[in-house]
Amino acid sequence: MVVLTEKTALRRACANSLDNVVHLNLWNAHITDVSVLRRMPNLEVLTLSVNSLTNLQDLTCCTKLKELYVRSNNITSVKELQHLRGLLCLRVLWLSDNPCADDIDYRMHAIQMLPQLQVLDGTDIEDDERMDASSAALNDSQQNSSFVGSLTDENQTDSRHQLSDTSQSQVFTATTTANNPILAAVGTLLDTLGPDALQAVLAMAQDRITKTTQVGNSKTSVSSLDSHATSMSTGSQIKHSDHAALEEA
Range 205-226 average pLDDT: 63
Across the range 22-45, mean pLDDT stands at 97
- Given this model, what pLDDT does residue 18 score? 97
Largest separation between any pair of C-alpha atoms in the chain: 143
b/e sequence 124-152, b meaning 16+ C-beta within 10 Å: ebeeeeeeebeeebeeeeeeeeeeeeeee
pLDDT of residue 49: 98
pLDDT at 219: 56
Q: Read off the pLDDT band of 241 (50, 70, 90).
A: very low
pLDDT recorded at residue 92:
98
Phi, psi of 33 (to 5 degrees): -130, 120
Lowest mean pLDDT among 4-18, 50-64, 138-152, 212-226: 212-226
Mean pLDDT, the chain, rounded, equals 79
Q: Using 50, 70 and 90 to split pLDDT, how confident is the model at 172?
A: very low
**pLDDT over 70 (residue 52):** yes
Does the pLDDT at position 96 exceed 70?
yes
At 66, the pLDDT band (50, 70, 90 cuts) reads very high
Q: Is a pLDDT exceeding 80 seen at residue 203?
A: no
